Amino acid sequence: MSNEKTIPYKIYLEESEMPKQWYNVRADMKNKPAPLLNPDTLKPITHEELGNVFCDELVKQELDDTTAYFDIPQEIQDFYKMYRPSPLVRAYCLEKALGTPAKIYYKFEGNNTSGSHKLNSAIAQAYYAKKQGLKGVTTETGAGQWGTALSMACAYLGLDCEVYMVKCSYEQKPFRREVMRTYGANVTPSPSDKTAVGRKILAEHPGTSGSLGCAISEAVEAATSKEGYRYVLGSVLSQVLLHQTIIGLETKAALDKYDIKPDIIIGCAGGGSNLGGLISPFVGEMLRGEANYRIIAVEPASCPSLTRGKYAYDFCDTGMICPLSKMYTLGSGFIPSASHAGGLRYHGMSSIVSQIYEDKLMEAVSVEQTSVFEAAQQFAKVEGILPAPESSHAIRVAIDEALKCKETGEEKTIVFGLTGTGYFDMFAYGKFNDGEMNDYIPTDEELAVGFAGLPNVE
Amino acid sequence: MSNEKTIPYKIYLEESEMPKQWYNVRADMKNKPAPLLNPDTLKPITHEELGNVFCDELVKQELDDTTAYFDIPQEIQDFYKMYRPSPLVRAYCLEKALGTPAKIYYKFEGNNTSGSHKLNSAIAQAYYAKKQGLKGVTTETGAGQWGTALSMACAYLGLDCEVYMVKCSYEQKPFRREVMRTYGANVTPSPSDKTAVGRKILAEHPGTSGSLGCAISEAVEAATSKEGYRYVLGSVLSQVLLHQTIIGLETKAALDKYDIKPDIIIGCAGGGSNLGGLISPFVGEMLRGEANYRIIAVEPASCPSLTRGKYAYDFCDTGMICPLSKMYTLGSGFIPSASHAGGLRYHGMSSIVSQIYEDKLMEAVSVEQTSVFEAAQQFAKVEGILPAPESSHAIRVAIDEALKCKETGEEKTIVFGLTGTGYFDMFAYGKFNDGEMNDYIPTDEELAVGFAGLPNVE
């Protein structure tokens, strides 16, 4: 047991204690995630085929499910040192406000200008693109954190950066756009008329406010239709989850430093990369029979891929040009209600996280957004950090679990991922402050429409 | 000399190494700052008179120019632990990008939701108000950092918080306002019709976009006209500078930890509290004959109180209801051009900083805003932090000094204060990105108007 008095408010690792390798949890999984399939042949996609879309080194990482550790190149380690290690914070003030005997910790990834954990993978993907001698990269962004992170990484390395930003975010978040422009990125609202798939979607849905799946399609087309460009993605893919294990590895190192053993680990789930990155080292211990944890994924009730989705092969993008991935999904045609604020709006889920869930190594719950913003505000007032709406899903459940401990008197140790800050989400906070936020939950009939679009692949 | 290889990207103090006292540089000054005067009697203001406006404990701190150290109450130390110590960052990437032999460090105060150093004094002032049993506090805010900081501190302590926000900021920064609302503050655009002084200013200048001096007048009136409220101020006052010495004390402790001796220390200057807080421990060494440093204050060319102002008694506010302070000032009627972006728009300067400047312990330079935003963008691209426009004044001069070292080959050690982030300043960044930012410098004739309003006090 840890000596309570010695635990500081913030646990920082020394530079020398920072992880030098990413951890690939697939290496320890008995049931490997199903392979990506070529959408035309329905056969497992090859290195060569993926290499048209992604950088070579990233393709290797994507397809490798046996190597447990990948060295983090020195240049990426140096970049990490600018904003990492991120603090593991003991939420003393929140514990006190809740009057709970639980011990609450959060790993805070918001102390960088992208405002989130996204930078961990952005620098890695941009680095490999640069190393391959490419001119630039294209991507999509929803809430804007990923686009900001990628534009930062590209500015640092001198790479061209083209961002397709989901139209409703582009309009609601002009300042996000401006940050990306300040970092030299070219930002286009999606769907746009710059790509064939964008023009097709615009013709079919003239008034659409866009979706992540649709922006992905545009970015992939933009990358593959010109010389010297590749596509990069901020979540969902196994390579992204690999880079994000820096979160979990640092968390585990910080906990180990003070002999703290968590009982519950909580993360918010959109595409699954932050969640997967946080939980990977802990799931690895469970897979190797070394420890046991209760792991909880939290998703929005308005986009419930784990709790109400199907575990099936599906397209990663609306345009159906990306490989098929076996995952918990609502169907690539699913678009969350316009009333849904913030990110976590992707129709599917990382294939690794999906398999972990399928194997019952993890629970999943969905929460409604006004209760999420209530938790966000409560947290902000006592812990001094205004959280991103996405991160606040994890806060909601951490508070709920801490309140259960208050009832039972259990001194559980709760760790959650605080993925980012909400400074660019004040439009949504304003709606909440004005009492104009509503909780939309899709009906079974509405979900059936998305499921009907699933491809017939076993 | 320090061993270069052992210096990490970020120097963090341990919790146990954090300062437990604030340092009052006035105790070591031979030429004390001139006393505040009662605007009616023109005599040094008394504890009793100031006690109508400020909390009792803060009045003591304001008027005490002999006690060198004030204990930081445990509750404030605990709050500091939530977001402090702030990192002292070695700007390895900026050095490399500039190709300079200079060693550049910056003390980064932006890793908290207020986005700046302002929280250091906000929590102190709110704490003393709470301890005195008050219901709430009133204040003004310009760029919005101070108002955000105070609303955070008040939310934490359960105090009511009324913020008068300079109208042009209120309109340009709706999201700043929303952060304050999320923390439960009541935000009013100034000038307003809620106060007599606001109504008077509106009648005289119907189209005015407001000023800091005017918002101060409204906040003071609001505090003094109802039971259980006091006024708090985010800069200028000696008490604020005292609290902000946490910046300089941590900086010095971090430098000492690695045996680093700075040659040049640079800070941006608005009301002078962040600058004064950063430099106090170093000026103290100079005053005691223990060391010598080159200290540079950087101010905007559009609001040049140190470089073009007069050293004279002046009103702290436009409404002329606050005590008179002897300081470098442009006159309380001076309002910076509407083209001026961000903060640093106060007409005067901390009396302590003014005396330090008058005694030639510090230099001052003014810089134009497009060159400031150029430095900001350059810094953001290599150091990964999008700086506040205010902070970027210091970046500008740090880069200029580092480039001089490149010419001369000198390996000088430069330390500057990076007071905050620019996440809520994207309107101004957008103007810069669009090439629509201009550099306004007031003419001598324009400054003469402000000087004409100076009171006749020797």
E runs forming strands in B114-245: 136-141, 160-166, 186-190, 229-231
Contacts of B14 in chain A (CB under 8 A): 8
Query: Which pLDDT does position B210 carry in this prediction?
Result: 87
Contacts of A385 in chain B (CB under 8 A): 112-113
Averaged over A150-170, what is the pLDDT?
Answer: 96
- pLDDT over 90 percentage in chain A: 87
Q: Which residue in A62, A36, A56, A65 sits closest to A323, CA to CA? A: A36
- In sign, the C-alpha dihedral spanning B269, B270, B272, B278 is negative
Closest by Cβ to A426, choosing from B14, B179, B382: B179
Query: Which pLDDT does position A333 carry in this prediction?
Result: 86
The partner residues of A264 in beta bridges, in order of sequence, read A294, A414
| Backbone φ and ψ of B114, nearest 5° | -65, -15
Residue B18 at interface with chain A, using a CB cutoff of 8 Å: no
Residues 6 or more apart whose Cβ sits within 8 Å of residue B5: none
A163: three-class secondary structure by DSSP: strand
Q: How many CB atoms lie within 10 A of CB B398?
A: 30
Contact A176, A428 (CB under 8 A): no
Would you call B384 and A423 a contact, using CB atoms and an 8 Å cutoff? no
Averaged over A98-108, what is the pLDDT?
Answer: 98
Rounded to whole angstroms, the Cα distance separating B444 from B449 reads 9
Angle at B229 between CA B228 and CA B231, to 5 degrees: 155
Averaged over B9-15, what is the pLDDT?
Answer: 96
Residue B430 at interface with chain A, using a CB cutoff of 8 Å: yes
- In sign, the C-alpha dihedral spanning B285, B289, B291, B295 is positive
Closest by Cβ to A112, choosing from B152, B384, B424: B384
Closest by Cβ to A381, choosing from B155, B385, B427: B155
DSSP state of A420: B
Considering chain B, what is the average pLDDT of its residues?
95
A4 band by pLDDT with thresholds 50, 70 and 90: low
Strands B21-23 and B69-71: antiparallel
- Name the residue in chain A with its Cα closest to that of B154: A381
Residue B382 at interface with chain A, using a CB cutoff of 8 Å: yes
Predicted confidence (pLDDT) per residue in B257-316, tens digit: 999 999 999 999 999 999 999 999 999 999 999 999 999 999 999 999 999 999 999 998
Rounded to whole angstroms, the Cα distance separating B414 from B266 reads 8
Contact A212, A166 (CB under 8 A): yes
Alpha-carbon separation of residue A217 from A195, A322, A379, A457 (angstroms): 9, 7, 37, 21
Contact B11, B87 (CB under 8 A): yes
Rounded to whole angstroms, the Cα distance separating B174 from B425 reads 11
Query: Which pLDDT does position B4 carry in this prediction?
Result: 53
Work out the burial of residue A56: count CB atoms within 10 Å of its CB; fewer than 13 is exposed, 13-18 middle, 19 or more buried: middle
Residue A178 at interface with chain B, using a CB cutoff of 8 Å: yes
Predicted confidence (pLDDT) per residue in A230-283, tens digit: 999 999 999 999 999 999 999 999 999 999 999 999 999 999 999 999 999 999
Rounded to whole angstroms, the Cα distance separating B398 from B389 reads 14
The tokens describing A388, both together, are 């991103």
Alpha-carbon separation of residue B419 from B95, B120, B216, B266 (angstroms): 20, 11, 22, 11
Query: Which pLDDT does position B268 carry in this prediction?
Result: 98
Rounded to whole angstroms, the Cα distance separating A392 from A341 reads 12
Q: How close does chain B come to A151, measured CA to CA in Å? A: 9
Residue B377 at interface with chain A, using a CB cutoff of 8 Å: yes
Angle at B228 between CA B227 and CA B229, to 5 degrees: 100
Rounded to whole angstroms, the Cα distance separating A265 from A248 reads 10
Rounded to whole angstroms, the Cα distance separating B172 from B254 reads 37
- pLDDT over 70 percentage in chain A: 99
Cis ω for the linkage preceding B85 (within 30 of 0): yes
| Backbone φ and ψ of B204, nearest 5° | -80, -35
Please tell me which residue, B57 or B2, carries the higher pLDDT value. Answer: B57
Query: SS3 letters for B307-359?
Result: HHCEEEEEECCCCCCCCEEEEEECCCCCCCCCCCCCCCCCCCCCHHHHHHHHC
Strands A324-329 and A310-315: antiparallel
Q: How much is the CA Rg of chain B, to the nearest whole Å?
A: 20
Closest by Cβ to A429, choosing from B178, B380, B424: B178
Query: Which pLDDT does position B173 carry in this prediction?
Result: 86
The per-residue b/e assignment along A205-244, b for 16 or more CB within 10 angstroms, e otherwise, is: eeebbbbbbbbbbbbbbbbeeeeebbbbbbbbbbbbbbbb
Contacts of B82 in chain A (CB under 8 A): 9, 89, 93, 383-384
Provide the Cα torsion A280, A282, A284, A286; round to 10°. Answer: -140
Predicted confidence (pLDDT) per residue in B20-53, tens digit: 999 999 999 999 999 999 999 999 999 999 998 9
The tokens describing A368, both together, are 């409604």
Residues 6 or more apart whose Cβ sits within 8 Å of residue B155: A380, A381, A382, B161, B183, B184, B185
Residue A151 at interface with chain B, using a CB cutoff of 8 Å: no
- Name the residue in chain B with its Cα closest to that of A110: B111
Rounded to whole angstroms, the Cα distance separating A86 from A38 reads 38
Would you call A111 and B111 a contact, using CB atoms and an 8 Å cutoff? yes
pLDDT at A5 > cutoff 60? no
Closest by Cβ to B15, choosing from A8, A423, A426: A8
Q: How close does chain A come to B370, measured CA to CA in Å? A: 14
Q: Report ipTM for this prediction.
A: 0.94
Q: Which residue in B380, B367, B391, B382 sits closest to B433, CA to CA? A: B380
Would you call B184 and A385 a contact, using CB atoms and an 8 Å cutoff? no
Start-to-end CA distance of chain B, whole Å, equals: 48
Considering chain A, what is the average pLDDT of its residues?
95
Q: Which residue in B196, B185, B140, B190 sits closest to B170, CA to CA? A: B190
Contacts of A117 in chain B (CB under 8 A): none
Would you call A113 and B377 a contact, using CB atoms and an 8 Å cutoff? no
pLDDT at B402 > cutoff 50? yes
Would you call B178 and A385 a contact, using CB atoms and an 8 Å cutoff? no
The tokens describing A373, both together, are 């913003």
Contact A284, A277 (CB under 8 A): no
Query: Which pLDDT does position A2 carry in this prediction?
Result: 44
Would you call A181 and B156 a contact, using CB atoms and an 8 Å cutoff? no
Predicted confidence (pLDDT) per residue in A297-347, tens digit: 999 999 999 999 999 999 988 778 789 999 999 998 888 887 888 788 889
A442: three-class secondary structure by DSSP: coil
Q: Which of B161, B178, B425, B429 to mutate to test the interface with A (most CBs of A within 10 A)?
A: B178
Q: For chain B, what percentages of helix, strand and coil (3-state, to nearest 5) are there?
A: 45, 15, 40
Would you call A384 and B12 a contact, using CB atoms and an 8 Å cutoff? no
Would you call A429 and B182 a contact, using CB atoms and an 8 Å cutoff? yes
pLDDT at A1 > cutoff 80? no
B2 band by pLDDT with thresholds 50, 70 and 90: very low
Residue B350 is which amino acid? S
E runs forming strands in A109-185: 136-141, 160-166
Residue B181 at interface with chain A, using a CB cutoff of 8 Å: yes
- Name the residue in chain B with its Cα closest to that of A427: B175
> Which B residues 118-137 touch A at CB under 8 Å?
119
Predicted confidence (pLDDT) per residue in B343-401, tens digit: 888 899 999 999 999 999 999 999 999 999 999 999 999 999 999 999 999 999 999 99
pLDDT at A175 > cutoff 50? yes
The tokens describing A41, both together, are 């042949």
The partner residues of B98 in beta bridges, in order of sequence, read none
Query: Which pLDDT does position A308 carry in this prediction?
Result: 98
pLDDT at B118 > cutoff 50? yes
pLDDT at B412 > cutoff 70? yes
Rounded to whole angstroms, the Cα distance separating A418 from A389 reads 10
Please tell me which residue, A321 or A19, carries the higher pLDDT value. Answer: A19
pLDDT at B137 > cutoff 60? yes
Q: How close does chain B come to A120, measured CA to CA in Å? A: 12
Residue A175 at interface with chain B, using a CB cutoff of 8 Å: yes
| Backbone φ and ψ of A165, nearest 5° | -110, 125
The tokens describing B235, both together, are 């800069």
CB pairs under 8 A between A and B: 132
The tokens describing B369, both together, are 């805003």
Closest by Cβ to B430, choosing from A178, A423, A433: A178
Helix (H) or strand (E) segment spanning residue B365: strand B363-367
